[in-house]
Amino acid sequence: MSLRRRLVLVHRRTEYEELLRRHGTHGQAEFFLRTRGRDLAQVQAMHDAVEGARAAVAAAVPPEWAWTEVEREDLGRFLFAPEDVVLVVGQDGLVANVAASLDGQPVIGVDPLPGENAGVLVRHSIDEVPALLGRVEAGTLPVRELTMVRAHLDDGQELTALNEVFVGHPSHQSARYVLAGERQSSSGLVVGTGTGATGWCASLAHERGGRELPAPDESRLAWFVREAWPSPTTGVEHTEGSLGPDQSLELRVDSDELVVFGDGMEAERLTATWGQTVRISIAPRTLRLV
């Protein structure tokens, strides 16, 4: 007997909800924004659009399915099941946030605010949801496998990211480490996927004269050292490159501590102390994006 299919609707609190949490009432939130030259009506309209999208998704769930909702802040405590279908309502970044928690479940990104978001990962409209859920049942759901990046510490800690992994100092000080046999001092190291090629890595590649970046489903990573500092004891020879399926980039910490985090989620960082090794490579799993 097959397990019952479940739809997991992932969302995050809207700006309106955050304002109410901070200021208590609609009137106080309105006053706060007015003193800063903003109109609460626009914030309310965006909130209503997101709420409407969530309601429409709930109405589209087949009656024989189970379904539940999870907020961005609760992803680390939520247990996804193999038979789940994940539907993200929000911005592209929310898809990246949920990616690290998944292992093969298909992800449908829905844009509740067309024209407001980039729409690279949340590429579907609300109107498309019923047909997409129907294709799940028919086994014809079109899925693209997006490459992810993994950082592994020599003490067993690891994390996976959809866009990029950053290794650097927890403050604005220089990060000191040994990379490819060269001692370096820099603003940190960024290793990105093809999905992340439109973000942080795009800026770094542009600074280097437009280096070629991988495609989202290509089994290749691009890496860049940020602001490497040449000195009598630190070099700048190894500051960029790419990694294929059987390759990894190894870094030995030469500071009291460095932090490792993915997709800008610094609160969920790993800490590597003096002498520890950080190994970065293509992750063994992909994000299955519809």
Q: Where are the domains of the chain?
A: 6-142, 147-285
147-285 maps to CATH 3.30.1280.10: no
Rounded (5°) CA angle 99-104-110: 50
Average pLDDT, the chain: 92
**Any bridge partners for residue 89, and if so which?**
110
- Asked if the model's pLDDT at residue 119 lies above 80, the reply is no
Stretch (H or E) spanning 132: helix 129-138
pTM confidence score? 0.89
Q: How far apart are CA 87 and CA 55, in angstroms?
A: 13
Segment 129-143 shows an average pLDDT of 90
Residue with tokens 């109109």: 39
Fold entry, domain 6-142: Rossmann fold (3.40.50)
For residue range 45-55, list pLDDT tens digits in order.
999 999 999 99
Cβ–Cβ < 8 Å for 116, 89: no
Segment 137-159 shows an average pLDDT of 93
Neighbour-count burial of 248, counting CB atoms closer than 10 A to its CB (0-12 exposed, 13-18 middle, 19+ buried)? middle
Task: Place 275 in a pLDDT band, splitting at 50, 70 and 90.
Answer: very high
**pLDDT at residue 1 in the model:** 46
Phi, then psi, of 7 in degrees rounded to 5: -95, 130
Confirm whether 6-142 and 147-285 share one CATH topology: no
Instruction: Please tell me which residue, 120 or 276, carries the higher pLDDT value.
Output: 276
**pLDDT at residue 105 in the model:** 95
Structure tokens at 96: 């990246």
**Any bridge partners for residue 43, and if so which?**
none
